[in-house]
Amino acid sequence: MIEGVKIKNLRVIPDDRGELMEILRNDDDMFEEFGQVYLSTTYPGVVKAWHYHKLQKDNFACIKGMVKLVLADTRENSPTKGEINEFCIGERNPLLVQVPIGVYHGWRCLGAEEAFVINIPTKSYNYKEPDEYRLPAHNNGVINYDWSVKDR
């Protein structure tokens, strides 16, 4: 596991009316600070990658559909430099994944339906000076990762 990554199994509580799923609470060990909450959707087969932040941590949960969330540690002084972590998260595997500062991340929508990903970053988005450092999703010369489906 990449140093600094934290994971929380999300508990789904069903009753006669539907379901409730807590994602992040201010008394969770992984909670540090609240910036904002936003929803990002991704169409089937689409890749949204790569970027990292210098000031914020991200907390991702896929609440509809499934995504493969991938983290790549390129941090110079990290003991896990060069490691890649893959997490299939969503309706069939409800997880919250916290991405540390400086770790590249992105995801690919899995399956035949649009995926809905909630992020609860530790900082609010700064429109004038975004804390985003991007690379192309494919063949970027920094992260050697193949987003295609792997028939194992």
Per the domain annotation, does 119 fall within a domain?
yes
97-140 pLDDT, tens digit per residue, is 999 999 999 999 999 999 999 999 999 999 999 999 999 999 99
Single pTM value for the model: 0.94
pLDDT at 141 over 80: yes
CA 75, 98, 26 angle in degrees (round to 5)? 135
Token representation of residue 132 = 């985003």
Look at the chain and report how many structural domains it folds into. 1
The tokens for 24 are 């992040």
Q: Is residue 66 part of a domain?
A: yes
Does the pLDDT of residue 152 top 80, yes or no? Answer: no
- Three-state DSSP string of 84-116: EEEEEEECCECEEEEECCCCEEEEEEECCCCEE
- What percentage of the chain's residues is helix, strand, coil (to nearest 5)? 0, 40, 60
Nearest-10 Cα torsion for 128, 131, 136, 139: 150
39-85 pLDDT per residue, tens: 999 999 999 999 999 999 999 999 999 999 999 999 999 999 999 99
Q: For tokens 């690919």, name the residue.
A: 108
Q: Is residue 145 part of a domain?
A: no
pLDDT at 29 over 90: yes
CATH number at 31 reads 2.60.120.10
* Domain span at 129: 6-134
Residue 128 lies in a domain: yes
Give residue 149's pLDDT band: very low, low, confident or very high (50, 70, 90): confident
100: in domain: yes
Whether 88 is in a domain gets the answer: yes
Please indicate, yes or no, if residue 149 is contained in any of the structural domains: no
User: Which pLDDT belongs to residue 14?
Assistant: 94
pLDDT of 93 = 97
Please report whether residue 56 resides in a domain. Answer: yes
Give the residue, 149 or 28, on which the prediction is more confident: 28
- The sign one gets for the Cα dihedral 37, 62, 39, 73 is positive
pLDDT for the residue numbered 42 = 98
